[in-house]
Amino acid sequence: MFISSYAKNYLQSYIFYLFCLFNLFIFNNSHAQSSDKTYLLKGDRVFDGEEMHEGWVVAVQGNEIIYTGEASGFKAKKGTEEISLAGTTLLPGMIEGHSHLFLHPYNEVSWNDQVLKESFTERVARATVHAKNTLDAGFTTVRDLGSEGADYVDAGLKKAIEKGIIPGPRMIIATKAIVATGSYGPKGFHPYVDVPLGAEEADGYDNIIKVVRDQIGKGADVIKVYADYRWGANGEAMPTFLEEEMALMVKVANSSGRDVVAHASTAEGMRRAIMAGVKTIEHGDSGTKEVFELMKEKGVAFCPTLAAGDAIQQYNGWKKGTEPDPARIVNKKKTFKLALDAGVTIVAGGDVGVFTHGDNARELEMMVEYGMDEAEVLKSVTSVNAQVFGLDKLGQLKSGMLADIIAVEGNPMDNISTLRKVKLVMKDGEIHKK
């Protein structure tokens, strides 16, 4: 029988349509089945984000926790996969409070050379590896505070992780940090050389509004401002923005439901940022008793980034453990204690990128070393970070929360370094490491 070319093409198109429809049905059906997958995780104990419980289990269906409690209180339905994790502690996926996935340790390549000499392609390739290493280390969420001269590539990395193209943690991104004109680097060039900056300049009423809105439009989840920087007459850290300028940033960002965080190391820079209404202070190296008491009063959290300063001192030649603490370390221990004594909310974040991604637990170890209780550190890196960052469905192992769960060998209440011994990583109900 003769079939016209038109009819033949129509028939082929119709068959192809049925084929696609069939495959779509198979995909949706398998996806629905996988989304209904139920796991029962059995370790020796469970830290639920607030307290440690011996003998508890955690049940997960799809991407949600459906039960946390005594094993006798959960009746597993048919098809539930039980995962035995003897000798481990189950806890919420940890949340890194201060990361730079587009940086790598400064003893490998200086910050200046990373910004000026590494292509965006190389930096994205590195960040892809950093993201996987972070997730494997048990950190299922990061607050990434600045792409450091890589423009808005962090928005693309975040999207690639969300689409499942690459493995990595959930990302809260700041895109470009905001700096006052003339304050930031790279520096040391002839005045007429146009050097790419590691952040974005903004000054004055109209310009600040425009830059904040532009960053929001490009994907920023949070706005980061440098309240001070090393631009004093002798290269010392000094305030950059006026309090009124930072208050304007906060007003614009808050109107879109976003927070502002501030890099601040001087007491005056911290004070201005606190009074302007920022959500967190990063670093706080020269914080005073009065400033930390003001933070407590205003409800501003503190991210001390202990591990970054420690790493930089070692890069500069300090032999930790065999030589006395340099002045910067002595001062950091002092200011951290002042913050603890004032009752300031402590956010766990190490400024990862200054040191190796995947070594995030280094900050938690130092928080204990500098005087914070292990239980408080565990809360800081889980439920406290989630609360401060507005992550309502994360940071706790409770019914209805998203299934970001890790298992570590041993009990971190006895030894915080057990957080390095990650045996299982589940993010959004999917097992990434087992």
Whether 415 contacts 369, CB under 8 Å? no
Output the pLDDT for position 88.
98
What's the CA gap between 344 and 365, in Å, rounded? 19
Residue found by looking up tokens 């940071």 in the block: 395
Q: Are residues 87 and 99 in the same domain?
A: no
Give me the mean pLDDT over the 174-189 stretch. 94
Output the pLDDT for position 26.
44
What's the CA gap between 426 and 407, in Å, rounded? 9
- pLDDT tens for 253-274 read 999 999 999 999 999 999 999 9
Q: Are residues 425 and 312 in the same domain?
A: no
User: Is position 131 within any domain?
Assistant: yes
What CATH number is given to the structural domain containing 210? 3.20.20.140
Q: Are residues 82 and 101 in the same domain?
A: no
Beta bridge partners of 81: 39
User: Is position 407 within any domain?
Assistant: no
Q: Are residues 114 and 190 in the same domain?
A: yes
Beta strands in 161-287 (DSSP E): 170-173, 178-179, 200-201, 222-226, 228-230, 237-239, 259-264, 280-283
Taking 90 as the threshold, does the pLDDT of residue 36 lie above it?
Answer: no
User: Is position 411 within any domain?
Assistant: no
User: Is position 101 within any domain?
Assistant: yes
pLDDT bucket at 188, cuts 50 / 70 / 90: confident
What CATH number is given to the structural domain containing 56? 2.30.40.10
What's the CA gap between 174 and 177, in Å, rounded? 7
What's the CA gap between 116 and 425, in Å, rounded? 36
Q: What is the pairing mode between strands 52-54 and 45-47? A: antiparallel
Give me the mean pLDDT over the 194-217 stretch. 96
Give me the mean pLDDT over the 194-219 stretch. 96
User: Is position 21 within any domain?
Assistant: no
Taking 80 as the threshold, does the pLDDT of residue 25 lie above it?
Answer: no
Extract the tokens encoding 302.
């503190």
Beta bridge partners of 12: none
Task: With 0.85 as the threshold, say if the pTM is over it.
Answer: yes
DSSP H or E run through 186: none
- 3-state SS class at 24: helix
**C-alpha 126: how far from its chain's center?**
17
Number of domains in the chain: 2
Query: How high does pLDDT run on average in the chain?
Result: 93
Output the pLDDT for position 196.
86
Q: Are residues 219 and 181 in the same domain?
A: yes
- pLDDT tens for 348-401 read 999 999 999 999 999 999 999 999 999 999 999 999 999 999 999 999 999 999
pLDDT bucket at 333, cuts 50 / 70 / 90: very high
Q: Are residues 224 and 291 in the same domain?
A: yes
Output the pLDDT for position 223.
98
Q: Are residues 177 and 75 in the same domain?
A: no
User: Is position 79 within any domain?
Assistant: yes
- pLDDT tens for 111-150 read 999 999 999 999 999 999 999 999 999 999 999 999 999 9
Output the pLDDT for position 35.
59
User: Is position 16 within any domain?
Assistant: no
Whether 141 contacts 395, CB under 8 Å? no
User: Is position 247 within any domain?
Assistant: yes
Taking 90 as the threshold, does the pLDDT of residue 243 lie above it?
Answer: yes
Q: Are residues 144 and 195 in the same domain?
A: yes
Output the pLDDT for position 131.
98
Q: How far is CA 300 from CA 295, 344, 386, 390, 410, in A?
A: 5, 8, 15, 14, 34
Name the residue type at position 75: K
Q: Are residues 189 and 71 in the same domain?
A: no
Q: Are residues 87 and 101 in the same domain?
A: no
Q: Are residues 170 and 274 in the same domain?
A: yes
Give me the mean pLDDT over the 175-203 stretch. 93
Percent of residues, the chain, with pLDDT higher than 70: 92
Whether 153 contacts 120, CB under 8 Å? yes
What is the residue range of 77's domain? 36-91+419-433
Q: Are residues 253 and 374 in the same domain?
A: yes
What's the CA gap between 272 and 292, in Å, rounded? 13
Q: Is 105 exposed, middle or buried (0-12, 13-18, 19+ CB in 10 A)?
A: middle
